[in-house]
Structures are given as C-alpha cells and as structure tokens.
Amino acid sequence: MTASIRVEGLVKRFGTTNVVNGLDLTVPTGKVLALLGSNGAGKTTTVRMLSTLLRPDAGHATINGYDLVKQAKQVRRSIGLTGQYASVDAEISGRDNLYLIGRLLNLSRGQAKARASDLLEQFALTDVASKQARHYSGGMRRRLDLAASLVGEPELIYLDEPTTGLDPQRRNDLWDVVRDRVTQGATVLLTTQYMEEAEALADLVVVMDKGRTIASGTPSELKTKVGGEVLRIRPERPADLVAVTRALQSARLRSPKVDAEQGMVTMPIHGEGELTMAVHVLAACGVPLKGIDTYVPDLDEVFLTLTNKPVENGDDGDVTMVMPRVEPALAPPPPPPGPRIPPPGRLPVGGWPQFPPQHGQFPPQHRPPHPPPRWR
Ligand SMILES: Nc1ncnc2c1ncn2[C@@H]1O[C@H](COP(=O)(O)OP(=O)(O)O)[C@@H](O)[C@H]1O
Ligand SMILES: [Mg+2]
C-alpha cells in the first residue's frame, strides 16, 4: 500500500502537557482519513505539525514521501491546507484572493482567472465574488478558505474541521467537492467532531482523545467494535419495564438494560436466534408493547462509548452546526412467530397483523414509519 502520510510516535508538548502524545497514523494514497475527536483532542495541533507549521517534539513523519522536518519545503509544496480558522485576505475580493493564490502558485493569468471562477462556482460564491471578503458571512469565508486551499489542485488535502460554521446545504456541497477530489485521485486528511461527517466521507477513521489514538478502522468496523445491533422494546406502561427485563433475563438473554427516561429496554443482539427468542419471550409474558425495533448504533454512540464523553459542538466557526439526529420511530409490536399465541395483553383490533407488516395494516398511531424499520 502506498501511503501519502505515515506518522510514527508524533509528540507535541505545550508546557508540561503532551497535547499530541505518540500518535501513529497512516493515510493510504487516494483515501480519506478522518481524525475524529472532540474539542482539545489535539487534531489541529496534529494538522499544524503535518503541514510544517509546528515542529514536532518527537516522532517521525513522511508526507508524500518527504521527511516532515528535513524536507519541509517539499512537504509544503505538495499539500493543500485549509486551517480551522479562515485565513483569507479580508481587504480584497473573493475572486482576487483566489486569483492571487493562483498566481503565487505560478499559474498563468488566464489559468489563475479560470481556476478562480471554477472554484467560486463550486463553492457558491459567484454572486459575492467581487465583494471584499470582510463583508462575507462566516460561512462564506469558510468556503472561500476551502476554495483557496484547492487552487493548486493538491494531491494531498488537509481539511481541519472544514464544515464547522457551514449550514447543512453548504456542508453537503463541501462533501461533494471532497468526494469529487478523491475521485480525481486526491488523498484527504480530514479532522472533524462530527461522526456523521466521518461516516459520510471517510474510508478510515481514527478516533483521537487527549492526543492519542483510542480506536481506528473503517466506520463500520468501529461500529461493530462497540456492538452490533440493538433491540429496543418500549412497553405501553413504564411500570412494565422491569417485567420486560425479567422476562428477557429468564430466557438467559444477555444484558437487557432499562432506560427509564426513554421508557424502554435495550438489549444487544448476538445473532438471529436471540432476536427470535426475545420476541417469543415478550409475547409469552403478555406485557402490552408500544413499540419494538432493532437499530445499529451510529458513530456518535461509538464515540461516546470509546471516550465516555459526548460530542461537543464546534465552537470555532461563526455558526455552530448541530447535526440533526434522526431517531427512527419505534415500530409496532411484532406478532410472535410460528403459531399465533394470543397474548393476555391487549390484542390489536382484528388480531395480530401479518409479519412482516403490510401497508395500511396498523392504525395510524401504530403505523410503521416510512421507510419501514428493518424487519427480520
Ligand atoms: N499554542 C498552544 N499553546 C498551548 N496550548 C495549546 C496551543 N495550541 C493548542 N493548545 C492546547 O492543546 C490542546 C489541543 O488543542 P487542539 O490541537 O487545537 O485540539 P483540537 O483541534 O482537537 O480541538 C488543547 O488543550 C489546547 O488548549
Ligand atoms: Mg481544532
């Protein structure tokens, strides 16, 4: 495997604290690696070191085959960097910012002009292209900054929290630009606090906490590391939470957990048999259920499990972006498989619905959400 970035034992100390503390990192050429961590994890410090802006205190790194310290000039030439803070010249227009960078990178006048126009278009800045950048909103500056890092069409792109301060539409546009670059062969090192972003863009994710790697892998590997599918059972009456838990435990099902606040019991599923068993047990215990479904934890939860702390909102942009979490609606109670056992609880009018449920089979309050949950 050729790697655009190889990092071994990278250390950066500020005072007595190692804010990057022996970091190892390999970014294969042509791939996107997301460095995922909350505020203060050491992401920006890492990016600053890998772009030669900050000298490491220990460790070794090669960037595009160049030694980070001994061949700093070549390293700088071979990368495109978008810092966490907008670094455009506020006194000139967006178009002039990009044109100037093009000229600095030895593009001809015509090439620099054309490149500026393309990038302004890609980042939806054409309308404000002639305005001084100081009149731009935070999101516009951010986009201009990103565009600036792409003028030289670098083969290796560093994006330090590129979507902090962007609204969801602009964020999606940026994701498209990144994907486009990767299709054209670029390698990307991205830092983010957003699991959704890592999931959307990255081939590989390195979860960083206190300057160290605490987990790494593909997004799906990380998810399975922390646990596969989870069954959620929501009884109609909160008082039945304990009964549901006992019933599951009596069938030796592993570790059901009561979430009183959400009014549900959750249980990791370790194979098909357990789900079927759980459904049998629940039907037999006769507790009326409001909902039951399965879901795969998203990376937010993986992160929470790994670091024991929730994802913080970025506080670096003008606008803080909060990713909407879409909670899948709870599905109606499934009937017991095999011979139908009428539960002693409430029987739905017209008997148990078919399994899997058919469209229009449930009264509105029990109708499966669209798209329906993943039934087995
Ligand atoms: N120049 C500096 N001097 C002292 N401490 C710093 C400096 N830069 C960053 N830090 C500290 O290093 C830690 C990591 O910061 P940073 O790399 O910016 O994290 P992240 O980008 O993951 O939010 C933080 O605790 C921060 O306060
Ligand atoms: Mg940062």
Shortest-distance atom of ligand 1 to CA 15: 4
Q: How far is the CA of 167 from the centre of ligand 1 (A)?
A: 25
Residue 92: what pLDDT? 95
Residue 325: what pLDDT? 30
229-295+331-366: CATH architecture: 2-Layer Sandwich (3.30)
Nearest CA to ligand 1 atom 12: 19
21 lines ligand 1 (CB under 6 A): no
Q: How far is the CA of 152 from the centre of ligand 1 (A)?
A: 28
Residue 309: what pLDDT? 60
50 lines ligand 1 (CB under 6 A): no
40 lines ligand 1 (CB under 6 A): yes
Q: Report the C-alpha gap between 123 and 61 in whole angstroms.
A: 32
Residue 121: what pLDDT? 94
Q: Report the C-alpha gap between 83 and 148 in whole angstroms.
A: 11
Nearest CA to ligand 1 atom 27: 40
39 lines ligand 1 (CB under 6 A): yes
Q: Report the C-alpha gap between 303 and 311 in whole angstroms.
A: 8
Residue 223: what pLDDT? 75
Q: Helix 168-183 vs helix 138-150: angle between axes, to the nearest 10 degrees?
A: 0
Residue of 344, 369, 366, 365 lying closest to 353 (CA atoms): 366
Residue 237: what pLDDT? 94
Q: Report the C-alpha gap between 274 and 63 in whole angstroms.
A: 48
Give span(s): CATH 3.30.70.100, the chain. 229-295+331-366
- Whole-prediction pTM: 0.69
Q: Report the C-alpha gap between 342 and 339 in whole angstroms.
A: 10
The CATH number of 3-224, from 3.40.50.450, 3.90.960.10, 3.30.750.200, 3.40.50.300, is: 3.40.50.300
Which of 13, 43, 45, 194 to mutate for ligand 1's pocket (most ligand atoms within 8 Å of CB)? Answer: 45
Which residues in the chain show pLDDT less than 50? 311-376
Residue 153: what pLDDT? 86
Q: Which ligand is nearest to the CA of 84?
A: 2
54 lines ligand 1 (CB under 6 A): no
Give span(s): CATH 3.40.50.300, the chain. 3-224
